[in-house]
C-alpha cells in the first residue's frame, strides 16, 4: 500500500475549528495539501480559513454537525465538486460530558456516542466510496487512549472511543480481505492541551481537567500527517498513554484501583462551572477558535513517539533487544 505525498493530497479534516483538528488542518496546509475544513462553529472555520489563506493554502470550509449523516455527506459532496477527488479523511470531531454515570441522562450519553462514534462511522460511509474510486487513500480517526483504558467520570466518552476502535478494526479487516489499498488508522492521544475541557459539559460543579501531564496538539497533528503518508494501523501519542496501555494489559485490576484513586479527584479544578454554563455537547460555542487550551504550563515533551515515525528503527531496536534477551537467557542457563 502506497499513499500519495501530502503535497499531492486533497484532505478533509472534520472537527477543525479548534484543538487537534485545527492544528492538523494548519499543518496539512503548510505542507501544501488542499484542505477541506469542517465543524459546527462557523466563526472558528472562518478564522481557520483566514489562517490557511495567509499561508498561501487552498481551502474551503463546510459547516456540519457530524451527528447528522446528510451534513457529513455534504462535506464529501462539496469536496468532490471543488477538487474532484478525496485522498485523506480525518475525523477529529469530539465532545464529552464529565460527570458520575448516575447523573448522566440518556440524551447526554447518546449525544456523545452520536458525535464521537457515529460521526466517524458516517465519515467512513461517505468517504470510503471515493477512496475506493481513487484506488488508495487514508481514513484516519482520532480516538483516545480511553479506547484502551476507560476513565471514571467519562463513561460516555470512553464508551464512544472503545466503539471507534472496534469499528476501525472491523473496517480494516474487510478492506484487507477485499484487497483495497486503503489505510485505516486509529490515533490514540494521551491527555492533550486543547479547549476540550473548556467546552465539555460537566456536572462536577467545577471546570474539569485532564490528569497531567498534558501534551501539545502539534504532537497529535504530526502523527496524523505521518499516517496520511505512511500506512499505519494505530499510534498512541504521548509516553504516558503507552504506560497506561501497558498497565491495562498486564494488571487491569490494579489499574482500575489506581485510575479510580487518581482520576476521580484529579479531574476537578477550582474554577466554578455549572452544568448549564456554555458547553458544546448539543450546540457549538464561541470563543475557543484556538489549537491549545489552558494547560500549557502542564505540558511535557514525548519521546517514544519518535519510534513510530521511524518504524525501521523501532522494529530494529525491538529485534536487537529480543536477541540480547535470548543471549542473556542462554548465558544464565549455562
* CA within 13 Å, CB half, 232: 22
Q: Using N-to-C axis directions, what is the helix angle for 19-30 and 42-54, rounded to 10°?
A: 20
Distances (CA, A) of 223 to 187, 240, 304: 7, 16, 12
Whether residue 24 contacts residue 198, with contact meaning beta carbons closer than 8 Å, is answered with no
Kind and range of the H or E element at 38?
Answer: strand 34-39
Whether residue 193 contacts residue 292, with contact meaning beta carbons closer than 8 Å, is answered with yes
| Beta strand 34-39 pairing with 137-142 | unpaired
C-beta neighbour count of 229 within 10 angstroms: 18
Best CA proximity match to 224, nearest among 9, 8, 13: 13
Helices within 151-292 (DSSP H only): 155-178, 196-199, 217-229, 239-250, 252-266
Gap between the Cα atoms of 283 and 28, Å rounded: 27
Which of 83, 122, 157, 197 is catalytic? The answer is 157
Kind and range of the H or E element at 78?
Answer: helix 69-83
Gap between the Cα atoms of 32 and 10, Å rounded: 10
Q: State whether residue 231 is helix, strand or coil.
A: coil
Pull the grid cell for residue 261.
484513586
> Does 157 participate in catalysis according to the annotation?
yes
Q: Which residues are catalytic?
A: 157
Amino acid at each position: 500500500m502506497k499513499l500519495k505525498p501530502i503535497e499531492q493530497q486533497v484532505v478533509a479534516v472534520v472537527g477543525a475549528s479548534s484543538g487537534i483538528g485545527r492544528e492538523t488542518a494548519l499543518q496539512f496546509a503548510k505542507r501544501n495539501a488542499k484542505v477541506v475544513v469542517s465543524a459546527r462553529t462557523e466563526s472558528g472555520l472562518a478564522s481557520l480559513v483566514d489562517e490557511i489563506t495567509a499561508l498561501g493554502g487552498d481551502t474551503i470550509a463546510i459547516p456540519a454537525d457530524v451527528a447528522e449523516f446528510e451534513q457529513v455527506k455534504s462535506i464529501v459532496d462539496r469536496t468532490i465538486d471543488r477538487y474532484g477527488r478525496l485522498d485523506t479523511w480525518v475525523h477529529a470531531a469530539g465532545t464529552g460530558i464529565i460527570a458520575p454515570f448516575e447523573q448522566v441522562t440518556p440524551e447526554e450519553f447518546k449525544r456523545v456516542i452520536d458525535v464521537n462514534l457515529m460521526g466517524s462511522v458516517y465519515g467512513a460511509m461517505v468517504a470510503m466510496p471515493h477512496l475506493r474510486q481513487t484506488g488508495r487513500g487514508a481514513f484516519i480517526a482520532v480516538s483516545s487512549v480511553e479506547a484502551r483504558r476507560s476513565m471514571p467520570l467519562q463513561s460516555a466518552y470512553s464508551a464512544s472511543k472503545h466503539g471507534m476502535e472496534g469499528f476501525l478494526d472491523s473496517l480494516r479487516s474487510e478492506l484487507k480481505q477485499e484487497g483495497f489499498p486503503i489505510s485505516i488508522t486509529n490515533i490514540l492521544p494521551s491527555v492533550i492541551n486543547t479547549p476540550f475541557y473548556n467546552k465539555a459539559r460537566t456536572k462536577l460543579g467545577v471546570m474539569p481537567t485532564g490528569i497531567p501531564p498534558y501534551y501539545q496538539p502539534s504532537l497529535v497533528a504530526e502523527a496524523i500527517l505521518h499516517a496520511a503518508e505512511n500506512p499505519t494501523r494505530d499510534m498512541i501519542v504521548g509516553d504516558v498513554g503507552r504506560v497506561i496501555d501497558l498497565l491495562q494489559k498486564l494488571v487491569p485490576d490494579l489499574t482500575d484501583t489506581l485510575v479510580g484513586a487518581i482520576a476521580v479527584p484529579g479531574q476537578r479544578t477550582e474554577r466554578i462551572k455549572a452544568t448549564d454554563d456554555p458547553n458544546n455537547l448539543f450546540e457549538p460555542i464561541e470563543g475557543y477558535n484556538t489549537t491549545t487550551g489552558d494547560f500549557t504550563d502542564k505540558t511535557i515533551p514525548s519521546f517514544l513517539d519518535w519510534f513510530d515515525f521511524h518504524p525501521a528503527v523501532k522494529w530494529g531496536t525491538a529485534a536487537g533487544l529480543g536477541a540480547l534477551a535470548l543471549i542473556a537467557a542462554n548465558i544464565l542457563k549455562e
